[in-house]
Amino acid sequence: MLAKLFIQNYALIDKLSIDFTEGLSIITGETGSGKSILLGALGLVLGNRADLSSLKKDDIKCVIEAEFNLSAYNLESFFANNDLDYETTTIIRREILPSGKSRAFVNDTPVTLSNLSQLKTELIDIHSQHQTLQLSDVNFQFSILDALVKNDKKIASYKRGLKQYNVLVSELRKLQENQEKEQQQYEYNLHLFKELDEADFKLEEQEELEKRLDLLNNVEDIKLNLSEAIHLSTGEEYGIQNLLHALENSLQKISSFSEEYQKLYSRISSVKIEIDDVVSELETSNEAVEFNPNELQEINDRLQLLYSLQKKHQVATIKELLEVYDSLAEKVSSVENASEIITKKQEEIDQVADKLDSVATLITQAREKGIPKLKKQLESLLSDLGMPNATFSIAVHPTEKYLSNGKDELEFLFSANKGGNYGELKKVASGGELSRIMLSVKKILSQNTKLPTIIFDEIDTGVSGEVSNKIADIMQKMGEYMQVIAITHLPQIASKGATHFKVYKEEVKGITTSNLRALTKEERIKEIAEMLSGKDVSESALIHARELLN
């Protein structure tokens, strides 16, 4: 609910602070006294655009601050989604600077006008002639019926299911589109895949083949140098083996004379053993080296294949070629397995659709059951509001389409006259009739759902007598369930308020200023008496005013 409104330097207001209460609050005042300024200020703090004309004095800033009690509105998620600090008592402030710039804050956190506009719909509902256009909106019509039959949890469940259903349908559509595109490339991709598969290459293969090719291409050099190495090692006169053998014999003869000679002998013996081993391996390697033209051709052919595949797929290594192979395998597999994947996805959709259909059926049944009750309440309220012959023809028609709030289409028709034809509200109801219908709707909604603070802006225009009493009764009843603020010219309505504010103008030092104050009981009697008889208040008007208040 709106707990407090502070206004400074706005339009005709210097500074004003108003504390509001629960239930029905009344605002009265002469025409032009500034009642519309209050609505303008409230609209401004909740996101309406402003300009420098909003400033009473153009050299100081305009400040409007509204304090709301949010305990009953479940707005924690809204605050979290917009990175705002949630407080049960939330303060919204709007500043218009002399430069023309505007700033807005929620609990001292800067916000955009878009944030404020979204928040506004949760906090304030200003009821005016323009708002009656909502009555012709099918979603609003559904909201009336669904509120009456308490469909909110079922619809929330349906919306969760619908979100999941739409995601799955989107995924299916994408799978089908991909299948169609990939099918066109399937034969070519399959050819490329088979070509790589038949090549059967390994990760290190190319490097090993290139090393082997290098060896075969240099076999003569290798053979020549191995033979030379063997000759140097085994030659009879100057071969390394014979020289080491002679060296070993010389050192053996003196090894017993000292430890030092013994060590030298041992080391030469170790070298001779190592050389003998090397020579053995040289001879084995030399025997193994032979020129094989067939192997050379096979390696060249294999490498040529690998180079050709790399060039074809625009890669430089076997590793990259393997990645191409895996990618082609996936593309081929996705087409070959697409039907199975699509079938599974369709089964998922069917399962969700079955659950959606079940919830939608429950929603439809509740709506059909609630239609007679809604008709009866609307027609009864309108009869009290001076429309005794007003009737509605309301029906839901189940469809196969998944709509945002179920699977129904709604027919919401109206006739104001006995025996008259039914038609759409916007076509057959006058402005005054729409205003009364909307009041009746809000009365029903106030008892069946949590509405934001509602402000009735001179809804009583053009009515009087018993109808005005009924309007007053409806507003008072609504005030039992929610905060209602009524700007009115009718004493019957003014007398029903739990609190009563008066807007008035006064002139200070030649400057006109609008102001507002809460009235005491005696001041209320006088205000209502003036509304009954004008400025010259008669005793009978005072008596009548007291009767209305009692």
Query: Distance between CA atoms of 412 and 396, rounded to whole angstroms?
Result: 9
What pLDDT, in 10s, does the model give residues 123-138? 988 876 666 778 888 9
For residue 252, give the amino acid letter. Answer: Q
Contact between 394 and 371 under an 8 Å Cβ cutoff? The reply is: yes
Residue 529 tokens read as 């008496």
Neighbouring C-beta atoms of residue 52, cutoff 10 Å = 12
In which region does residue 9 sit, left (phi positive, over 0), alpha (psi from -120 to 50) or beta (all else)? left
- What was the pLDDT predicted at 52? 74
Instruction: Return the closest-CA partner of residue 131 out of 2, 23, 39.
Output: 39
- What was the pLDDT predicted at 130? 63
Helix (H) or strand (E) holding 58: none
Query: Distance between CA atoms of 325 and 39, rounded to whole angstroms?
Result: 70
- What was the pLDDT predicted at 58? 83
Domain ranges of the chain: 1-127+451-519, 177-338, 521-550
What pLDDT, in 10s, does the model give residues 302-323? 888 888 888 888 888 888 888 8
More confident residue, 383 or 286: 383
Residue 187 has pLDDT above 80, yes or no: no
- What was the pLDDT predicted at 550? 81
Q: Which residues pair with 26 in a beta bridge?
A: 486, 500
Q: What percent of the chain stands above pLDDT 70? A: 98
Residue 330 tokens read as 């996936």
Lowest-pLDDT range of 6-15, 23-32, 56-65, 215-224: 215-224
Four-way CATH pick for 1-127+451-519: 2.40.40.20, 3.40.30.10, 3.40.50.300, 3.40.50.1950: 3.40.50.300
Q: Which residues pair with 15 in a beta bridge?
A: 8
Contact between 323 and 196 under an 8 Å Cβ cutoff? The reply is: no
Q: What percent of the chain stands above pLDDT 90? A: 39
In which region does residue 540 sit, left (phi positive, over 0), alpha (psi from -120 to 50) or beta (all else)? alpha
- What was the pLDDT predicted at 150? 93
Query: Distance between CA atoms of 57 and 13, rounded to whole angstroms?
Result: 10
More confident residue, 506 or 360: 360
Cβ within 8 Å of residue 277, ≥6 positions away: none
Query: Distance between CA atoms of 101 and 406, rounded to whole angstroms?
Result: 45
Residue 6 tokens read as 């502070």
Q: What is the Cα gyration radius of the chain?
A: 47
Query: Distance between CA atoms of 544 and 491, rounded to whole angstroms?
Result: 10
Instruction: Return the closest-CA partner of residue 368 out of 162, 161, 152, 146.
Output: 146
Contact between 182 and 342 under an 8 Å Cβ cutoff? The reply is: no
Q: Mean pLDDT across the stretch 525-531?
A: 92
Helix extents (H) in 416-486: 425-428, 431-448, 465-478
What are the counts of helices (DSSP H) followed by strands (DSSP E) for the chain?
18, 15
Query: Distance between CA atoms of 237 and 50, rounded to whole angstroms?
Result: 114
Rounding to the nearest 10 degrees, give the CA dihedral for residues 45, 49, 51, 53: -70
Instruction: Return the closest-CA partner of residue 125 out of 439, 430, 476.
Output: 439
Contact between 515 and 504 under an 8 Å Cβ cutoff? The reply is: yes
- What was the pLDDT predicted at 202? 85
CA distances from 385 to 416, 471, 488 (A): 12, 7, 17
pLDDT band at 518 (very low <50, low <70, confident <90, very high): very high
Residue 453 tokens read as 């603070």
Q: Is 162 strand, coil or helix?
A: helix
- What was the pLDDT predicted at 129? 61
Contact between 407 and 398 under an 8 Å Cβ cutoff? The reply is: yes
Contact between 372 and 421 under an 8 Å Cβ cutoff? The reply is: no
Strand-strand pairing, 423-424 and 499-508: unpaired
Residue 221 has pLDDT above 80, yes or no: yes
What pLDDT, in 10s, does the model give residues 317-369? 888 888 888 888 887 777 777 778 888 999 999 999 999 999 999 999 999 99
